[in-house]
Structure formats: C-alpha cells, structure tokens
Amino acid sequence: MTSEQALSISLGLQGPCVIARLTGDFDFGSAAEVRDRVTKALDLTQPPLLVIDMQAVSVCDSSGLSVLVYLHKAVTASGGRLLLSGLNGRCKHLFAITALDKFFDIRSTAELAIAELNEPGNSPPFTG
C-alpha cells in the first residue's frame, strides 16, 4: 500500500540560475503545475539556466517525464541549459530504463549543478 504525497515546488534564483526544488509525487496530478510555474520562472534569466532538484521526489511517472522533456526543449531552444540533480531510488531507475539518463545532464546534488552553471564563461553549447 502506497500513500500519495502532494508535490510542492520551491522556486528561487541563485546567481543567474533558476532553481526548482520538487518534493513529493511528480505525477499526472502535479505535472501541469510544475510545467506552468517553472516556465514562468524561466523569464527571470536570459539565457535560461535551470536546475531541477529532484532529491525529494518520491515518485515520477510518465507525466513528470514529459514535463521534464518539455522544459529541456524550451530551455535549449532559448540558448540555455537545464541540469537535473538528486535523482535517487525509483526515479533514478526510471531514467535508466527509459534512457533519459543519456538525454539529460544529471548531477548528484543541486549544489554541484548550481556551481557548474554559475562558473564564469560557462555558456550554453552552440546549437545553431
């Protein structure tokens, strides 16, 4: 028997990076809110630099994965970078079996991801 845990989203800025910390179940019930709130926050920096910290995410389903792919495409289309951090347990396994661990740049902690994006001269890769 599993208990559902409502997702909470904490958004903030650290240097030029938008940090989205997710806690709880990232699923169909919360995916649209994550997409909408994080997309609005991306307007705070140009090019958008985004860290999504998933250390406290207990469940991620296909709806959550879809939102992450959407955000990745939105960020890279604007010349920015998105790093995921803190994947563990079932989420880490889900990324491995879907091969999304090859698609996303993943760091072990939010602090490492933030430090990488805050490095001087660390511009997004040219995709044009």
Report all structural domains of the chain as residue ranges with CATH numbers, in order of start. 8-110 (3.30.750.24)
At 26, is the pLDDT very low, low, confident or very high (cuts 50, 70, 90)? very high
Residue-wise pLDDT tens digits, 112-128: 999 999 887 655 444 33
Tokens of 74: 């939105």
Q: How far, in Å, CA of 9 to CA of 46, rounded? A: 22
Q: How far, in Å, CA of 37 to CA of 115, rounded? A: 23
- Number of neighbours of residue 36 by Cβ within 10 angstroms: 12
Q: How far, in Å, CA of 31 to CA of 16, rounded? A: 25
CA distances from 113 to 1, 28, 65, 128 (A): 35, 26, 19, 24
Tokens of 34: 């994550």
Residue-wise pLDDT tens digits, 44-71: 999 999 999 999 999 999 999 999 999 9
Tokens of 59: 């469940």
Residue-wise pLDDT tens digits, 87-106: 998 899 999 999 999 999 99
DSSP per-residue codes, 102-122: HHSEEESSHHHHHHHHHSTT-
Using an 8 Å Cβ cutoff, are 18 and 48 in contact?
yes
Percent over 90 (pLDDT), the chain: 81
